[in-house]
Amino acid sequence: MNFNTKGHEVQEKEYVSSYIKPGIHVAKIQKIEHTVANSGNEGLLIVHEGKPMDDLEGKGQTAETRFWMSQKAWPYTKDRLVIMADKLGVRDALDAIDAANASEYATALNDIFVGKAARWKFAGEEIKGKEGKSNWFKAQLSNFGFCEALSVSEGETKLKFNPEDKYDMKRLVETDVETTTSDTNSEPWG
């Protein structure tokens, strides 16, 4: 084999993340799964997927959101599911579900919501970078004002995203760490 670059042309590619960024996006619900936390709490894992992209080999960017189903969390989760169903026009199907357990409920939700597209507001949560890597923002459905039917034009949208708002972009708390040495007159590398 010969090693040379004569006649070889290449186009530099820009990195495209496989994850949805915080903000307002049109996406569909890819799947809803039953999940169990290490604590034993049951919940729903909702995966959203954006439009297919060539840079991702025909797949769309994704975002994961968890809704919990404990006794304390259920009323909040139920509210969010009803909002989604109302906006997506599947409220009657949602109200018809009568499941014996969280796993059956997740399966029934999957049958109703998968493939449904809407305009979604994804809030960001700052995640500490590991091993010297930069911090990053994980997108997940916002707590409020998070879903809108596609029949609402972009010009008429009621969804608002402000990267400076603490509810839209939850940032890590900065810590002030002072380094002191026992002998203030000595060089640190001594």
Percent above pLDDT 90 for the chain: 77
Residue-wise pLDDT for 51-79, tens only, equals 999 989 999 999 999 999 999 999 999 99
Of all residues in the chain, what percent carry a pLDDT higher than 70? 92
Sign of CA dihedral 153, 156, 162, 168: negative
Q: How far is it, in rounded angstroms, from Cα 146 to Cα 158?
A: 10
Region 73-101: what's the mean pLDDT? 97
Helical pair 74-88 and 102-113, crossing angle rounded to 10 deg: 20
Mean pLDDT score, 4-27: 89
Tokens of 42: 């049951």
Question: CA quadruple 60, 148, 150, 84: dihedral positive or negative?
Answer: positive
Q: Is the predicted pLDDT of residue 178 greater than 60, yes or no?
A: no
pLDDT of residue 74: 96
Other CB atoms within a 10 A radius of the CB of residue 57 amount to 8
Q: How far is CA 65 from CA 10, 27, 93, 96, 139, in A?
A: 38, 13, 22, 24, 8
- pLDDT number for residue 10: 86
Give 179's pLDDT tier (boundaries 50, 70, 90).
very low
| Average pLDDT of the chain, as a whole number | 90
Residue 84, pLDDT > 70, answer yes
Strand positions, DSSP E, 91-186:
117-127, 136-141, 147-148, 169-170
Query: For position 11, what pLDDT does the model report?
Result: 81
- The number of CA neighbours under 13 Å toward the Cβ of 92 is 1
Distances (CA, A) of 121 to 62, 173, 176: 13, 23, 33
**Taking a C-beta distance cutoff of 8 angstroms, is the pair 122, 142 a contact?**
yes
Neighbours of 174 (CB within 10 A): 6
For residues 58 and 153, is the Cβ–Cβ distance under 8 A?
no
Distances in Å between the Cα of 112 and the Cα atoms of 35, 73, 80, 159, 182 are 18, 22, 15, 24, 65
Confidence of residue 188 (pLDDT cuts 50, 70, 90): low
Q: Does pLDDT of 126 surpass 80?
A: yes
Q: Give the model confidence (pLDDT) of 130-171 as tens digits.
A: 988 899 999 999 999 999 999 999 999 999 999 999 999 999
Q: Global pTM?
A: 0.82
Q: Which two tokens stand for residue 75?
A: 């009323």
